[in-house]
Structure 1
Amino acid sequence: MNEQPSQEVIMNVDVELDACGFPCPIPLLKTRLEVNRMDAGQILKVISNDAGTKRDFRTFVSQSAHELVREEEERGVYCFWLRIGTA
């Protein structure tokens, strides 16, 4: 019997931030505060239900040393996995 490998990527998350219910730009501000408490290489998962967060996160990552390693959207909920870079 051959089993197909799971398509789900398993990633260790060091910190999870639930920013649901907060309008733009609060999810990004909360993310920046959390990032400042974390060490390089750690993974931060951010959950938001504000559509503007997609644009904000892409801009934030492009202007920082952090890496957006994964992004998902399901039913108006946005999840982002950031690998913390060195400042």
Structure 2
Amino acid sequence: MGPVRIDPLSHDPRFRILLEVYPHDIDFLNRVLEATDGLGLVTTLDRRLGRVVIWVTPDTRAEVITLLDSFPRTIKIIDQGTV
């Protein structure tokens, strides 16, 4: 049995925020989210492109978006799903 592949775009968009960061900032983003009492969980989709998904709940989505809007590194939100 091979590894299980999860396609984040096939999941309910209310639970994900898709974004791109510089590849060397992926770990920083992950640590910031870990330090915010589990507002979201970062999963790397393509390390080379810096493409990640942040898994959120409908209750934490707005707070994560606010955090990303003031994030101290360059990020590009590709898809923030629906509210």
Query: Shorter-chain TM-score: which interval?
Result: 0.3 to 0.5
Relative to total residues, which structure has the larger helix share, 1 or 2? 2
Ranked by relative contact order (alpha carbons within 8 Å, sequence separation 6 or more), the top structure is 2
The TM-score normalised by the length of structure 2 is 0.42
The TM-score normalised by the length of structure 1 is 0.41
